[in-house]
């Protein structure tokens, strides 16, 4: 065993390269020579997803509020227009047909109102679920106390 130290400690990588690093990886602290943007970390991607989800929820909530405001402003106007049309139609086509047309508008307004109330934001849904669960729990506690 008459080997020299240079022959024994042979280096089979790239000179100057850090141990455990691959050439294809972009290093955040080392001199990669590429100069390009570093790939985002898992934490960065998670933060981007969270921000995107928050923006989507805010947009959905804004759309729901806009639809409700739209209903509130248009429903009264549609009702008053239909009422005025009813007075005209009562003379021209008869009371029975005018009432049918007027009731059609009232039914559509009721349907629009119900649809506007069905659309719930995340906070409203959470509140409704908590109220329902709370009522069930309180009902069970009251029943248990009354049986004692």
pLDDT tens profile 52-95: 989 988 888 888 788 778 777 777 788 888 888 888 988 889 88
User: How many structural domains is the chain composed of?
Assistant: 1
Name the residue range of residue 53's domain: 41-120
In a domain? residue 17: no
In a domain? residue 136: no
pLDDT in tens, 97-111: 889 888 988 888 888
Neighbour tally for 25: CB within 10 Å: 12
In a domain? residue 144: no
In a domain? residue 102: yes
* More confident of the two residues 105 and 12: 105
* More confident of the two residues 133 and 22: 133
| Mean pLDDT of the residues in the chain | 77
- Say what the pLDDT of residue 132 is: 83
- For the record, the structure tokens of 138 come out as 């309180």
In a domain? residue 23: no
Percent of the chain with pLDDT over 70: 73
In a domain? residue 73: yes
Contact 90, 98 (CB under 8 A): yes
**How many residues in the chain?**
148
pLDDT of 32 above 80? no
In a domain? residue 70: yes
In a domain? residue 74: yes
């Amino acid at each position: 065993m008459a080997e020299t130290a240079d022959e024994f400690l042979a280096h089979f990588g790239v000179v100057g390269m850090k141990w455990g690093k691959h050439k294809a990886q972009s290093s955040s602290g080392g001199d990669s020579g590429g100069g390009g943007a570093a790939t985002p970390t898992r934490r960065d991607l998670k933060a981007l997803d969270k921000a995107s989800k928050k923006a989507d929820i805010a947009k959905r909530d804004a759309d729901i509020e806009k639809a409700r405001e739209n209903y509130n402003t248009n429903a009264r106007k549609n009702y008053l227009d239909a009422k005025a049309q009813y007075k005209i139609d009562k003379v021209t086509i008869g009371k029975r047909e005018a009432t049918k047309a007027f009731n059609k508008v009232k039914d559509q307004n009721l349907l629009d109102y119900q649809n506007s109330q069905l659309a719930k934001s995340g906070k409203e849904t959470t509140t409704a679920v908590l109220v329902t669960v709370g009522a069930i729990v309180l009902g069970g506690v009251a029943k248990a106390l009354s049986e004692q």
